[in-house]
A and B are shown apart, each in its own frame.
Chain A
Amino acid sequence: MEDLLAVKDLTYKKNQKVILDDVNLNLQPGKIVALLGENGAGKTTLMRVISGMAKNYRGSVSIDGSKKEADRKAKLAFTDGLTGFSDSTKIKAVVQFYRNIFQDFDENSFERLRQFMKLDPEMKLSQLSRGMKEKLIIALTFARKADLYLLDEPFGGIDAMARKKIINSIILWKNEKATILISDHFVNEIATLLDEVVVLKDKTVFAHKSADEIRAHHKSIEEYYEGLYEDEEDE
């Protein structure tokens, strides 16, 4: 099967400091993939490079064969902090923006997701708690019919109960052939969803394994992930 995402020999520097070094990553369509790594490992940077937000990198990135940034952006949905809107913007105005800017934005899907997340369209962004804002971001992201979803720590502020509900529903919101790349600290909670695990360590892809393979050799994905850092802690 042809890869949906192909990252080849990617190196990214900022202020002459190497953030990502010789990253190679291939993801197939329809997979849910965890992107794991410590703080500062380059998870967000990798997503920003894939989405065309970070520039001046070496190597190539293609989504479904498209290398041009504009084409790539048309095929992906990236969780955005909505900082481009003023605090007084109402949810319904944000939705209107998404409808006008993203051709793959499905208002009916958003309406379903909004009801699921219990969000009031009349609420202003300034009235939303961190968790509510993250719910809105997830709803906006999944209301797009994208090929690739990039979820950058999407659940940080959401309470445990709601988080569990959202994680269990993610699989229902995406198209069968769409791929999700998700970076998160709650490895255990997303573990049941996962098809593959990618670990970023030492500025590159340290491991890329199928979730089944990890489960076969370890008690859990979390245990496998923690095991990667045990040697360092011992030193």
Chain B
Amino acid sequence: MTKSSSLFLQFFKKKSYWVHTIILIQFISVIFGALFFFLKNETGDVIGGSDPTVINRSLLALTKAFIISFPFANIVYLLISIWQNEKINRSQTWRLAAISDSKFYLDNSLSSFISYFYLLFLNLLEITILFLMTFVCSKGIRKAFNYSFQNFIKDMASWNWEYLFNWALLVILFGLSCYLIVSFLNFSSRSLIDFLPGIKSTIAVNFIRFLLIIIISWLLYKIINSIGPIVDIYNGVASAADINLRRVILEYFGFDLIILLVNTFIFSKFVEAKQNN
């Protein structure tokens, strides 16, 4: 039998290839972006290298370009990993692994999700390095940072940590739901197409997918209505913002869990590996 951990590592290895590719493309775009900002704000004498603040301005331009590229890189990777996830789910090469379909599906989806965090981690590492370099090189930045940092420490005492934690949890659940919803659409529409007699046209397939989106929306609405009252019981003395957030988290968690169970069932029972010769 194939070990679940071995399969997970293989999935992660395949997906991390894309993470590294995205990081490389992002790096190249940041260099060009930084050059653009640099040239736009400064005149030609800066390129000559006589200005002692060239390094500072270069690092600031790099940081600025990186911050702008960050959301793009994340969205692109999210889309690529979703596409890869579905491709692997139907690949005969992968499905021949001696493991149950439910474990296969969970390993695949989880590895996509973890690889997404890997991208976030690498991005965070890059921004930290850039920031530290800027911090060390620029007196102005150090001064501004010291001022902001003191305010930051003062503000921390009044922070609502539970609120922040809840937001982080919500982001994780949202990310997971992206993978689960696409899998649900893919699995259920393919299973239906395999079942119905002779449906091959793209219009018919898209119509089925449209119907499924309506079903998902209805399911989400039902979950929100049924979980909401349960949350209200545990409200206690929390603030209105906390209550709303808790409610959304529980609703999202319930939704993710239901879709995950439904997907695992459809995948195990109906989703065939794509025939390849």
Question: A residues near B, CB below 8 A?
Answer: 14-17, 44, 48, 51-56, 68-71, 73-74, 78, 80-85, 97, 100-103, 152-153
A74 neighbours in B (Cβ, 8 Å): 1-2, 98
A44 proximity list for chain B (CB < 8 A): 275, 277
Given A53-B272, A101-B7: A83 touches B97 (CB 8 Å cut-off): no
Taking a contact as CB atoms closer than 8 A, the residue among A16, A78, A97, A103 that contacts B10 in the complex is: A97
Decide if B194 touches A83 in the complex (CB within 8 Å).
no
Contact between B277 and A152 (Cβ–Cβ < 8 Å)? yes
The prevalent SS among residues of A at the interface is loop
Quote the shortest CB–CB distance from A181 to chain B (angstroms): 16
Interface size on B, residues (CB 8 A): 36
Whether B98 contacts A102 by the Cβ 8 Å rule is yes
Known: A70-B98, A70-B99, A74-B1. A55 touches B10 (CB 8 A): no
B96 & A51 in contact (Cβ 8 Å cutoff)? yes
Are B1 and A83 closer than 8 Å at their CB atoms? no
Proximity bits, B1-19, A CB within 8 Å = 1, else 0:
1110011011000000000
In the complex, chain B residues 186-204 whose Cβ is within 8 Å of any chain A Cβ? 193-199
Q: Known contacts A17-B197, A70-B100: does B269 contact A82 (CB below 8 Å)?
A: no
**B101 (CB) vs chain A CBs: closest residue:** A69
Residues of B within 8 A of A17 (CB): 197-198
User: B91 in the interface, Cβ–Cβ < 8 Å?
Assistant: yes
Pairs across A and B, CB under 8 Å, 16 listed? A15-B198, A16-B195, A44-B277, A48-B275, A55-B269, A55-B270, A56-B270, A69-B101, A70-B100, A71-B1, A82-B276, A84-B88, A84-B91, A101-B2, A103-B1, A103-B2
**Residues of chain A contacted by B91 (CB below 8 angstroms):** 83-84
- Tell which of A15, A82, A83, A84 touches B195, judged by Cβ atoms closer than 8 Å: A15
